[in-house]
Structure 1
Amino acid sequence: MFNTDFRSEDYGELQRVVNAVFAPGVSSRATATKLDVVARAEIFDLCEDLREVVEALPSRTYTRQRLCDQLNSILIAHGWGSVYGTVE
């Protein structure tokens, strides 16, 4: 049987970015900007595809939940959810 699920070696890297921007235990009302997310992505030296996902974020202020929803939406739109993983 042919397996269509392919996980990149970069699987889970966006979750690392989200966790770095919004540390566990931080208030659910805490916010971050797109610039905060882009800066973290650069620090983690994300692959080209994941940089594209981060760059596709609209310029705004995000709560953790809103950021995750937006990143997941971009990942799904590109068909990369199973390749790079979604975030929570």
Structure 2
Amino acid sequence: MDMRSEDYGELQRLVDSVFPPGVSAAATASRLDVEMRAEILDLCSDLMEVVAALPPRAYTRQRLCDQMNSILTARGWGNVYGTVE
């Protein structure tokens, strides 16, 4: 049985829109930046919950991915929505 949501991969799309290809690995984005982009992408309520659970801080792409993957794992949603990189 496939447990993937129709929103599978949307968090990866979010990360890629906050940190487009070619952006420096040292570039940062605030949680507010991530929340605003998530609203623009009209993410489902579960994924908005993941974004809302991010601690307020500046994130590099790697730190944002690590934090989101941790939140997804804690909720048991990694297989449902996919992890990010």
TM-score range, shorter chain: over 0.9
Aligned equivalent of 1:36? 33
TM-score (norm 2): 0.98
Shift of 1:69: 0.1
Q: Where does residue 46 of structure 2 map in the other structure? A: 49
Within a 5 Å distance, the mapping from 1:65-76 to structure 2 comes to: 65-76=62-73
1:80 aligns with 2:77: yes
Higher-Rg member (1/2): 1
% same residue? 74
Give unpaired runs (5+ residues) of structure 1: none
Aligned counterparts of 2:79 and 2:35: Cα–Cα separation in 1: 22
- How many residue pairs get aligned? The number is 85
Deviations 1:56-86 (A, max 9, x none): 0000000000000000000000000000000
Structure 2: unaligned runs, 5 residues or longer: none
User: 1:14 maps to which residue?
Assistant: 11
